[in-house]
Amino acid sequence: MALEHHGKCIDWQWEESLGWENRPPTGDEEFEAGERKDWVYHWKSPALLKCNPQGMIPTLLDESTGKTVTESLICIEFIDEIAKVAGSTASPLLPTDPFDKAHVRLMADRMNKKVTSNYYSALVRQDETERADAFQGILNGLEEFVLSSKGLYQGGDDGLNLVDCVLFPYAWRLYVLDHYRGFKVPPRTENRVWADYHAWLDRVECLDSVQKTLPDKEKYLIHVEKYASGRARSKVGNAVRRGKNALAYDDDE
């Protein structure tokens, strides 16, 4: 993608930054060798670690200046601002009114904590009660989202806002919890809240810009099996296995 910013063209390119690789145990793991079907570790590219020592994605790098932008919510806002400078006529992800903008940021943070974090807890934690509590937290978050929405999307009828962008990737992934944990989102016939939720989910999924980003569902199930079985060695996987919030990973993990 190329954008005009302060009179210059900025080209954004994808780089393969994360992956999985098999290698033997080192002896420092928290698992006995016999407890693992294989030893799969999160690989992080040297280029990613150079511009973001935490090794987390998303990470945006301007190669001409060496400046970086990290963390999902901040990256979304950054791209929205760059698009505005480039003359985009699309509906902005954040409103212009400072009070409305603060409310949207607050709701985005709540969805991050209630849905994103609980998604990993419901998937990774091995205690059934803890998983069930986490899934109930997800359902509470989805209900709050629907009840706070002002139209076809969270902020109205014009298009996606920051809250939609934060929630959708994990709302779409909830089929994973059905597959591995048997947790199901109530059907649209349950009541008006769930009818509105499923209508929103379908609406966003059908957007061309969203369709381009969606992985193959079967391949994604295979990928996240590492989390469901407790074998994932990513920072998020390690944090959740230890009983932490998925967003509270340690920089040194």
Same domain, residue pair 76 and 5: yes
Q: Which one of 94-98, 226-230, 246-250 scores highest in mean pLDDT? A: 94-98
Same domain, residue pair 28 and 153: no
Same domain, residue pair 101 and 222: yes
Query: How many domains does one find in the chain?
Result: 2
135 contacts: CB under 8 Å, gap ≥ 6: 118, 122, 177, 181, 183
DSSP 132-166: HHHHHHHHHHHHHHHHH--SSBTTBSS---HHHHH
Same domain, residue pair 200 and 116: yes
Given 39, 73, 90, which residue is the final one in a domain?
Answer: 90
Same domain, residue pair 145 and 171: yes
Distances (CA, A) of 253 to 55, 59, 185, 240: 10, 18, 32, 12
| Confidence grade of residue 2 (pLDDT, cut at 50, 70, 90) | very low
Residue among 50, 73, 70, 57 nearest 19 (CA): 57
Given 44, 61, 90, which residue is the final one in a domain?
Answer: 90
Give the pLDDT of residue 47: 76
Same domain, residue pair 186 and 102: yes
Same domain, residue pair 76 and 153: no
Distance CA 205, CA 210 (A): 6
Residue 236 pLDDT more than 60? no
Residue 237 pLDDT more than 60? no
Distance CA 52, CA 163 (A): 25
Same domain, residue pair 48 and 104: no
Distances (CA, A) of 226 to 40, 85, 126, 223: 8, 41, 13, 7
Helix (H) or strand (E) holding 2: strand 2-5
Condensed to tens digits (0 to 9), the pLDDT of residues 163-213 reads: 999 999 999 999 999 999 999 999 999 999 999 999 999 999 999 989 988
- Compute how many other C-beta atoms are within 10 angstroms of the C-beta atom of residue 3: 16
Distance CA 26, CA 17 (A): 23
Amino acid making up residue 96: T
Same domain, residue pair 28 and 150: no
Give the domain CATH number at 159: 1.20.1050.10
Give the pLDDT of residue 14: 55
Give the pLDDT of residue 9: 42
Residue 101 pLDDT more than 60? yes
Condensed to tens digits (0 to 9), the pLDDT of residues 172-186 reads: 999 999 999 999 999
Give the pLDDT of residue 238: 52
| Confidence grade of residue 42 (pLDDT, cut at 50, 70, 90) | low
Given 41, 67, 90, which residue is the final one in a domain?
Answer: 90
Domain, as residue range, for 82: 1-90
Give the pLDDT of residue 195: 97
Same domain, residue pair 35 and 154: no
The burial class, CB within 10 Å (0-12 / 13-18 / 19+), for 154 is: buried
Distance CA 165, CA 161 (A): 6
> Which of 82-91, 209-218, 236-245 is predicted least confidently?
236-245
Same domain, residue pair 13 and 73: yes
Task: Report which of residues 246 and 71 the model is more confident about.
Answer: 71
pLDDT mean across residues, the chain: 80
Same domain, residue pair 7 and 130: no
